[in-house]
Chains A and B, each alone.
Chain A
Amino acid sequence: MRVLLLLLFLCAALVPAIAAGDASAAPSLAVSDAWARATVEGQTGSGVFLHLLSSQDAQLIGASSSAAERVEIHEMRLVNAVMTMRRIERLDLPAGKVVALDHDYHVMLIGLRQQLQVGHNVALTLHWLDAAGAHHSTDVIAPVRALNTSVVPSSGSKRD
C-alpha cells in the first residue's frame, strides 16, 4: 500500500514535467531497503538486496564495491525445481516502477575481503544508464543483516 502511494505520488510529481515536455528533468534513481546478508568466517560470497525506483526509463548495468573483488547483478530462476543464478548484463528500470532486487534479482558480492557482520555496512556503487544512454552512479549503504534473514518477495517484484 505504501509502495502504491509512493508510486501515485511519484506519478503525480512527474506529470507536470512530462506535460511541459521538460526534457531537462534530471534523471534520478531512488534506492530503498538496501541490506547485505551476513557471512560466516571463510565464506567469500554474499548477496545485497534493495529496491530501485527510477524517475525515467533506465537500465542498471552493474555495481562495484571495495568490499568484494567483483560485484555482479544476478538473476535467480527456478526451473523444474532447480535453482539457477546467472549474471545479467543489464536490468530494465521502467520509469516510476519499483524494481525489487530481493528475490528474482540480487546484487552478488564475489570474493569478499572480509566477513560481513551484523552492525557493519557495505558501501557499494550502482552503475546505470538513463533514457538518453548517459552513465550515472549512485552510492548505496547496505546495513548487514543476520545470515538467517528470510527473503520475502516484496510487493514491488510481482504482486504490483
Chain B
Amino acid sequence: MIEAPAVRRTVAAVLALGAIVLATLFLTSNGALPWLGGEQASRFHGRDVSSENWAADFSLSDASGQARTLSDFRGKVVLLSFGYTHCPDVCPTTLAKFAEVRHLLGTDAQRVQALFVTVDPARDSAQVMRAYVPKFDPSFIGLRGTTAQTDAAVSSFHASYQINERHGEIEVDHTASTYLIDEQGKTRVVTPYDESARALADDVLVLLHNG
C-alpha cells in the first residue's frame, strides 16, 4: 500500500471540498435535500419558474378602459389567469378560488392583486367584463385587449389559447393555470387548475414573506 504524503493531501482536499459542497447545497436548499430522496427542491406547491426568467408582461385595458401593464402592480403579488366569461365551469371556479385565497390571506390580502385576462375579447366586451369580474371580489381586475395584445400577453406567459368556430359554435381552449408574479414583477410560479386555494395561498405567502 502506498502512503505517499501527496496522496493523503489529495484525499484530505477532496474530503474538504466535498464537505463545503454539501454544506452549500444544504444551506441553499432551505434544509430540503432533494438529492437525498426528497420529492422536490421547490418551496412552492406550483411549478417554480423563477430560474426561467420569463419576460412576461401585457398591455391591456381594464374595465374602465384604462391602459394597464404588469408594472402597474409592482409591490403586490399578482394572481393571473386567462379565460373567458362564457366558460361555464373552469374560469368561474378559478376566480372563486382567487377570492378564497384572499380570504385565507387575511390582512395580507391587501398585498395581492387578482387579474383575469379574457382570451375572447370579441364576446367579452368591456361592459361584460365590468359586470362579471367584480362578482367574485370587488378588488379583482378584468383585462382585455385587441387580438394582437391578447396574443402577446398569452405567449409572454408561455400559455396558449385557441378559438374555433364549428357549426356556429364557438369553442375556446385556453391554459387554465394560475400565474404568480412577485412584488418585483417577476413570474415565479405556475399553478395547475386543480390546485387548492390553500396551496395557492401558501405559495403567495412564500412570495410575500420569503420572496
Interface residues of A (CB under 8 A from B): 37, 40-47, 49, 70, 72, 74, 76, 78, 81-87, 103, 106, 108, 110, 146-151
- Give the chain B neighbours of A150 by CB distance below 8 A: 92-93, 96-97, 100
- Give the chain B neighbours of A70 by CB distance below 8 A: 169
B190, closest chain A residue (CB): A81
In the complex the two chains form, what is the Cα distance from A46 to B123 in whole Å?
13
Contact in complex: B85, A83 (CB < 8 Å):
no
A48, closest chain B residue (CB): B88
In the complex the two chains form, what is the Cα distance from A46 to B89 in whole Å?
9
* Nearest CB in chain A: distance from B197 CB, A: 9
Contact in complex: B89, A76 (CB < 8 Å):
yes
- Give the chain A neighbours of B73 by CB distance below 8 A: none
Given A45-B88, A81-B175, A81-B177: 18 more A-B contacts, CB < 8 Å:
A37-B92, A40-B135, A43-B85, A43-B131, A44-B86, A70-B169, A78-B176, A78-B193, A82-B160, A83-B87, A86-B171, A106-B88, A110-B169, A147-B132, A148-B92, A148-B99, A150-B92, A150-B97
* Nearest CB in chain A: distance from B132 CB, A: 5
Which single member of B97, B131, B161, B192 contacts A41 (CB below 8 Å)?
B131
In the complex the two chains form, what is the Cα distance from A103 to B92 in whole Å?
12
In the complex the two chains form, what is the Cα distance from A42 to B142 in whole Å?
15
26 A–B contact pairs at CB < 8 A? A42-B125, A42-B131, A43-B86, A44-B123, A45-B88, A46-B86, A47-B88, A49-B89, A70-B169, A76-B90, A81-B175, A81-B193, A82-B160, A83-B87, A83-B176, A84-B171, A84-B173, A106-B88, A147-B92, A147-B135, A147-B136, A149-B96, A150-B92, A150-B93, A150-B96, A151-B92
In the complex the two chains form, what is the Cα distance from A151 to B193 in whole Å?
12
* CB of B174 within 8 Å of the partner chain: yes
Contact in complex: B88, A46 (CB < 8 Å):
yes
A102, closest chain B residue (CB): B89
Contact in complex: B95, A148 (CB < 8 Å):
yes
* Nearest CB in chain A: distance from B170 CB, A: 9
Per DSSP, chain A at the interface is strand
**Count the B residues whose beta carbon is within 8 Å of the partner chain — how many?**
34
- Give the chain A neighbours of B85 by CB distance below 8 A: 40, 43
* CB of B127 within 8 Å of the partner chain: yes
In the complex the two chains form, what is the Cα distance from A74 to B88 in whole Å?
10
Contact in complex: B171, A37 (CB < 8 Å):
no
Per DSSP, chain B at the interface is mixed
Which positions 92-118 of chain B face chain A at CB distance < 8 Å?
92-93, 95-97, 99-100
In the complex the two chains form, what is the Cα distance from A41 to B125 in whole Å?
11
A-B interface, 4 closest residue pairs, ranked by CB to CB distance from nearest: A47-B88, A40-B131, A45-B86, A83-B176
- Give the chain B neighbours of A86 by CB distance below 8 A: 171
Which positions 163-211 of chain B face chain A at CB distance < 8 Å?
169, 171-177, 192-194
B112-142 interface code vs A (CB 8 A; 1 in, 0 out): 0000000000010101100110011000000
Contact in complex: B176, A82 (CB < 8 Å):
yes
A77, closest chain B residue (CB): B173
Contact in complex: B175, A148 (CB < 8 Å):
no
- Give the chain B neighbours of A42 by CB distance below 8 A: 125, 127-128, 131
In the complex the two chains form, what is the Cα distance from A84 to B87 in whole Å?
10
Asked whether A83 and B86 contact (CB < 8 A) given A42-B131, A78-B194, A148-B135, the answer is no
- Give the chain A neighbours of B87 by CB distance below 8 A: 83, 85
